[in-house]
Amino acid sequence: MEKNDIFNTNLLQLPLKAQVADEGVVQNIAPVAEPTALAMREGLVVDVLAQDGGVLRRLSNVTPKKCEKLASGFLHRGEITLLCGDGGVGKGQFVAQIAKSLTTGESTEFFPQTPEGTGNIVILAGEDPTDTVLCPRMDAAGADLNKVAVIAPDTYYEEMHKMPQLGDPDLMNWIAAGNPLLLVIDPFQAFLPDSVNLNNRQQIRRLLQLLRMQAQQHGFAILLVTHTNKNPGACGRKRLNGSGELWDTARNVLIMGHAKNGNKIYVSHEKSSYDAPADTILFTTETVTVKGVETARAKFDSTSDWKDEDFCREKPDRAAPKYAGVQSGILAMLNAAPDKRMVSKELQRLV
């Protein structure tokens, strides 16, 4: 054992007492008053790292593994992704496109990379009705409905005689029973336990740590859907509604909004802990009819290197309607004129 081992009592400052085996390996560690002095007297370096995966593990004994990406890197298995945007911006339509990718395994314009895995989607639906909104929306997007399951508060209450709250073992068991590849919590606020305040950093951290442990244990990704705040002029992280712990804990953060020019909606990949953020997705929505029910569907438009801040600071093109009106007036005047020509040099100069 090297004398300059970085894992020793001087660095860790642990109150340890060691019993030394014949081969010089420290065993049976117990608290004492002055461990550093003891180690110095014995001429030993106290090594408290387990070699087989204990509480402290040497990185030299860890086998690196790749975190499986889903939806072209917008999600990662075993990790939390945060999706935030104003109400009505189209978050549900975008989630439906994610569901199509993960349930069918098809590459799409939204997610051109073929998914590394396909599976089930479990949705905790706190706002959208299952029959009139979620089912038609998922169907219109092309998701495999056999692989999409919904837990709604009203039906959960009828069955369990209590509201679904994150951290409740019964709810977690129902989620695990769906064997999900992705768990969607929409919106996150609707399923907070009574004891958790959205703005309390420590409470949110403990809850998110629990969710992440469940995700890694069962091998699914989590998508937390939240609303942005009403702070005018805010962009990026400052648009987040609730504790900043949401941003810090999430491995991916997506922000949605309306472009100020045109009718496009953007999905900006603001944070990625595993890869470079993906290009921003631009899409529009269209109304379609599925099995006699009208619903909205996202229609891919293009990608952009703009981020949320760029869209927030974009200046509305107020001159465009004015110029269009002038152009229309000129064309109408020419059509009314003899031979569709200017009636005088003076008019031509003014135009």
What CA dihedral angle connects 297, 303, 306 and 308, to 10 degrees? 20
**Is 328 part of a structural domain of the chain?**
yes
Comparing 62-76, 122-136, 266-280, 294-308, the range with the smallest average pLDDT is: 62-76
What global pTM score does this model have?
A: 0.77
Q: Does residue 344 share a domain with residue 290?
A: no
Q: What is the pLDDT of residue 6?
A: 40
Compute CA distances 35 → 7, 29, 216, whole Å: 14, 10, 37
Q: What is the pLDDT of residue 58?
A: 85
Percent of the chain residues past pLDDT 70, beyond the cut = 75
Residue with tokens 């209450």: 157
**Is 4 part of a structural domain of the chain?**
no
pLDDT band for position 18 (cuts 50, 70, 90):
very low
Q: Does residue 181 share a domain with residue 106?
A: yes
Q: What is the pLDDT of residue 123?
A: 98
Domain region containing 23? 9-61
For the cut 50, the answer to whether the pLDDT of residue 174 exceeds it is yes
Q: Does residue 326 share a domain with residue 259?
A: no
**Is 1 part of a structural domain of the chain?**
no
For the cut 60, the answer to whether the pLDDT of residue 80 exceeds it is yes
Long-range contacts of 319-322 (CB under 8 A, 24+ apart): 320/261
Q: What is the pLDDT of residue 61?
A: 83
Q: What are phi and psi of 149, to 5 degrees?
A: -120, 145
**Is 143 part of a structural domain of the chain?**
yes
For the cut 60, the answer to whether the pLDDT of residue 59 exceeds it is yes
- What does the pLDDT look like over 190-222, one tens digit per residue? 999 999 999 999 999 999 999 999 999 999 999
What CA dihedral angle connects 178, 171, 86 and 213, to 10 degrees? -80
Q: Does residue 325 share a domain with residue 306?
A: no
Q: What is the DSSP string of 95-115?
A: HHHHHHHHHH----SS--SPP
For the cut 70, the answer to whether the pLDDT of residue 225 exceeds it is yes
Q: Find, among 249, 268, 263, 265, the residue nearest to 310 by Cα.
A: 268
Q: Does residue 151 share a domain with residue 171?
A: yes
> Who has greater pLDDT, 49 or 108?
108
Return the CATH number at 173.
3.40.50.300
Q: Mean pLDDT for the chain? A: 84
